[in-house]
Structure 1
Amino acid sequence: MRIAIYVQDMRASGVVRTMIAMARAFEETDEAMLVAGYASGIFGAADVAPAGFVAAAERPKGKVPRLGAVPPLRRTLRELRPGVILSGGNFGHFSLWAATRGLGVPVVYVFSNAMEREGQPWRNRWRRFWSGLLVRGSGGAIVVGANLARSGVFAPHIASGKAVLIPNGIDLVTVPQADGTVPAAMAGPEPVILSIGRLQPQKNFEALIDAVAVVRKTHAVRLVVLGAGTDDYRAALIARAEARGIAGHVLFAGTTDNVYPWLRAARVFALASRWEGSSIALLEAMAAGTPIVASRTAGDAADVLDDGRYGLIADAENPQAFAAALLRQIDDPVMPGDRAQAYDAPVMMRAYHAMLTKAAAGARARAARA
């Protein structure tokens, strides 16, 4: 089976890292190709090997990159002629949907972000409509978090078998062993609170900065953030840190292709997201053995942490409450233990492969009847 896995670009995100691992795993039994709308990002062909890699375009095109990706992506897919396509993340669904119109290739969409977001009633309505439309016209759908599976958008499709719940996982076999390496940005006498994620409002770094300002009233700590974003948004976050009097103790460190040395050097991993599906960074923090504080709104974080058994859950919009959880994890941590074992990637990979096989078989059966 020729499988194409689509991502919008090659940024250092949890979605891209997961889809790279997926392509490499599928290459053991099938012909797998990672297809990127744009080559821009930290990863490339060497990271995807032995699976194949192709980028439809080198860099974002036009004022609306999702639309600009469509023509070159369509040409690329025509040349590849895959038997089935996996659309790896919400961000790329539109480009792939538009590029595959009339090609007759079954697409399985992965949904990893919440449909409902506070203060966005009209956009929430559009997300529900658009997501439902995608699922109905697809070869199948995968939702990565129990909170998504319970939503009104996906629950009926899960009941019918058109969609399935497959929790995120990470390949624990390939987790690098601790070798004592400490990134220069993590060195120093102050304990580090580390957060990982794109610099965008979803990740709620504003609330995390507020909570760290509260922590610093009693504990000398630093906040380090791994993730890329726009210069304007980074500047706004720096201005917020300045307003809270902690600018000298907050570092936006960019991106890395290996988060584990950073996680192991951190005293606490913090996930303050306003919404998530199922955070890969959270699973990586558990695998690294780093104490965790996650927001109540961070997707299925409460399920993953078993309501506080393997890490703390707190209200990120309450700086005092989130700071109290951070302080607890600094002084008397609740450790993740072996919880990551429940999210080992092979189980996830087999479930994804089964869904893709089902979608490809269904497409062949429909073609035979036509």
Structure 2
Amino acid sequence: MARLLLYLHDLSATGVTRNALALAAALASDHDITLATGRATGTLAAEAAGAIDLGGHGPRAAHRLRTLARALSPALALSAGNRGHPFFFAALAGLPHLRRLYRFSNDIDHRDSRGRRRWWKPLADSAQLALLRHSADHLIAVSQPLAADPRLAAIPLTLIPNSIDIAATRGAAALPCPHPWATDQGPPFIIGIGRLTPQKDFATLIAAFALLRRQRALRLLILGDGPQRPALDAQVAALGLTGWVSLPGSLPNPMPLLARAAVFGLPSLWEGASNALLEALALNTPIVASRTAGNAVTVLDHGAHGLLVPPGDPAALAQALLLQTGAEAIRPGTRASHFSRETALDQWRRLLANEAARLPPLAPPARFP
């Protein structure tokens, strides 16, 4: 039984957190797993009751993680998402007899809606990748575009796409939901799910909805929290959409709403691999996604199981949403079966076993006369 130290930046309601917690739970029967996090607070804290709280992301927290690793002597240490990689690297630098794994959960190149990057971002990315080339024993990519990035070619890499527990997702969709739109008789609604950040580009979804409302009676529901809430609320008011757009924050179980939605919208400017996209697949909800939303092109098989649009284009998004809320909507069908949880777990088990086997045996203690 390999001992694994799993590091999460925090326990907020992100795809990285959900995937890491699902992985830890599924592998607990055949691995000795310790979960450590920079902050043990957040929407998903109740699902990680045994997590070790490092108390932040500064030097003291890094020292705590390093001390924990020394005490546990794990064979493997895994950083679950991009945001935690620099901290993870610094905390564990130089520790012997430890295989370091980094999971790339998101696009390395982050651009704004005009295709621009902040001037310092390439420098920061290059510095981080240079450090990883010296410390990483193995990388895990969640999508084919990430796996194909030439900057990662020097490090052993395995592609393990995000996965979905189809039965559990459908079971969650049958549970009661407190939001009134889950049961009311109002107009159909479009749903978006994710952090309210520039990356998710919900501003374009709202702008597209304003165009769509001129042609069809619909509502828009955006689930999530984040720093863009004031700007999005102001946009809704400015467009005269108050009462037609709901931003209730995060919900512990959004599946009943995702199952009932007329269409799921994923307008992200960048992604790694969207969990919500897989959940929409499992629930057979019609989908419209931007081509830059991580592996959406692959997941939707180039448009065979949902519509794909250019990023940051409200008119194109509105037209696709109009089609997907009509009688000729393209549904995912059985596409979710290609991303089953069982397949991904088999890949993880093989990877962890292979990495643990690469560690040389510990030297016996020295003998003194």
Q: TM-score, normalised by structure 2?
A: 0.89
Contact 2:195 / 2:224 at 8 angstroms: preserved in 1?
Answer: yes
Residue of structure 2 equivalent to 1:278 = 273
What secondary structure sits across from 2:265 in the alignment?
A: strand
Residue of structure 1 equivalent to 2:144 = 146
C-alpha change, 1:254 and 1:241, in structure 2 (3 Å) is same
Measured after TM superposition, the shift of residue 333 of structure 1 is 1.3
Contact 2:8 / 2:36 at 8 angstroms: preserved in 1?
Answer: yes
Residue of structure 1 equivalent to 2:215 = 218
Residue of structure 1 equivalent to 2:94 = 102
Residue of structure 2 equivalent to 1:322 = 317
1:227 to 207, 224, 228: 224
Question: Which amino acid counterpart does residue 100 of structure 1 have in structure 2?
Answer: L
C-alpha change, 1:69 and 1:244, in structure 2 (3 Å) is farther
Contact 2:177 / 2:253 at 8 angstroms: preserved in 1?
Answer: no
CA deviation vs aligned residue, 1:226-281 (integer Å, no higher than 9, x gap): 22213xx2101111222222133222222223231121121111111000111111
1:37 aligns with 2:38: yes
C-alpha change, 1:66 and 1:207, in structure 2 (3 Å) is farther
Residue of structure 2 equivalent to 1:308 = 303
C-alpha change, 1:113 and 1:84, in structure 2 (3 Å) is same
C-alpha change, 1:98 and 1:268, in structure 2 (3 Å) is same
Distance 1:318 1:362 in 2: 48
Contact 1:144 / 1:166 at 8 angstroms: preserved in 2?
Answer: yes
1:204 aligns with 2:180: no
C-alpha change, 1:322 and 1:136, in structure 2 (3 Å) is same
Matches within 5 A, 1:291-370: 291-331=286-326, 332-364=328-360
Q: TM-score, normalised by structure 1?
A: 0.88
Residue of structure 1 equivalent to 2:169 = 175
CA deviation vs aligned residue, 1:287-316 (integer Å, no higher than 9, x gap): 111111000111110111001111110123
The size of the alignment, in residue pairs, is: 353
Contact 1:67 / 1:95 at 8 angstroms: preserved in 2?
Answer: no
- Report sequence identity in percent: 37
Distance 1:220 1:69 in 2: 51
Contact 2:164 / 2:279 at 8 angstroms: preserved in 1?
Answer: yes
Measured after TM superposition, the shift of residue 35 of structure 1 is 2.0
Contact 1:224 / 1:251 at 8 angstroms: preserved in 2?
Answer: yes
C-alpha change, 1:185 and 1:295, in structure 2 (3 Å) is farther
Residue of structure 1 equivalent to 2:367 = none
Distance 2:290 2:7 in 1: 30
Distance 2:175 2:313 in 1: 35
- The two structures, once aligned, show a CA RMSD in angstroms of 2.2
Contact 1:285 / 1:292 at 8 angstroms: preserved in 2?
Answer: yes
1:137 to 132, 135, 138: 135
Measured after TM superposition, the shift of residue 38 of structure 1 is 1.0
Contact 2:170 / 2:283 at 8 angstroms: preserved in 1?
Answer: no
Distance 2:194 2:122 in 1: 22
Measured after TM superposition, the shift of residue 363 of structure 1 is 3.0
Identify, as 1 or 2, the structure richer in helix: 1
1:23 aligns with 2:24: yes
What secondary structure sits across from 1:53 in the alignment?
A: coil
Larger Rg, first or second structure (1 or 2): 2
Measured after TM superposition, the shift of residue 43 of structure 1 is 2.1
C-alpha change, 1:190 and 1:9, in structure 2 (3 Å) is same
Contact 2:86 / 2:128 at 8 angstroms: preserved in 1?
Answer: no
C-alpha change, 1:166 and 1:180, in structure 2 (3 Å) is closer
1:243 to 233, 238, 247: 238
What secondary structure sits across from 2:150 in the alignment?
A: coil
CA deviation vs aligned residue, 1:83-133 (integer Å, no higher than 9, x gap): 211111111112211211233222200002112233115413431441343
Where in structure 1 are there 5+ consecutive unaligned residues? none
Distance 1:106 1:307 in 2: 37
Contact 2:133 / 2:154 at 8 angstroms: preserved in 1?
Answer: no
1:265 aligns with 2:265: no
Question: Which amino acid counterpart does residue 203 of structure 1 have in structure 2?
Answer: K
Question: Which amino acid counterpart does residue 261 of structure 1 have in structure 2?
Answer: P
Contact 1:38 / 1:69 at 8 angstroms: preserved in 2?
Answer: no
Question: Which amino acid counterpart does residue 217 of structure 1 have in structure 2?
Answer: R
